[in-house]
Amino acid sequence: MQKAKFWNKIADKYAKGPISDMASYEHKLKLTQDLFHSDMSVLEIACGTGSTAILHAPHVAKYLAVDISERMIEIARAKDGPPNLSFQVADVEDMPLEPGSFDMVQAHSALHLLSDPNAAVEKMYDALKPGGLFVSSTTCVGGIWWLKFIAPIGQALGKVPHLAWFTENGLREMVQDAGFEIIEDWRPEGKITALFLIARKPDS
């Protein structure tokens, strides 16, 4: 898969890298896990090497984690995950998703890397059951002004992937325009980092 080349190349380095802000990561884990129930079916897109999926999966009935990178999924499958967790090579923009098939869809560090994030959010909305939850931790690169000058150079050198340029407010609007109600909106104060959102699909 052509789009996976960048991520296959960096997968081993990515797997060895530490989490930069463990306190924020653990806070987002807790906010998400507080919404789990034992019979829930969860989809996580762009799961990387599977660390978050492995922590979440024991709390639900079925957990499918997908990533565009074959190497990321290879590393994830080599870890000691629970039996209800499955890893799959897939691109959310292309993969078929049956309407109303999941209770929760997660997209972490993913939306700003997609070619059409609006369409992807709408697709994930359709994949959720009524009352289902969308959970996202997203770097809103449109609000980082200096990145627009540096990114094209990095992309020309193969060091930076495709980026979708939206701001935090743009992300909120994208989620709401898809039909979701935002029920959690959090970012560590004073830091340029990912915006964490939890949004609910209406019950009817």
pTM score: 0.91
- Percent of the residues in the chain that have a pLDDT greater than 90, as a whole number: 72
Mean model confidence pLDDT for the chain: 90
Q: Which domains does the chain have, with CATH numbers?
A: 2-200 (3.40.50.150)
> Backbone dihedral region of 25: left (phi > 0), alpha (psi from -120 to 50 degrees) or beta?
alpha
Question: Which residue type does 163 have?
Answer: L
Structure confidence by residue, pLDDT tens digits, 20-67 = 889 999 999 999 999 999 999 999 999 999 999 999 999 999 999 999
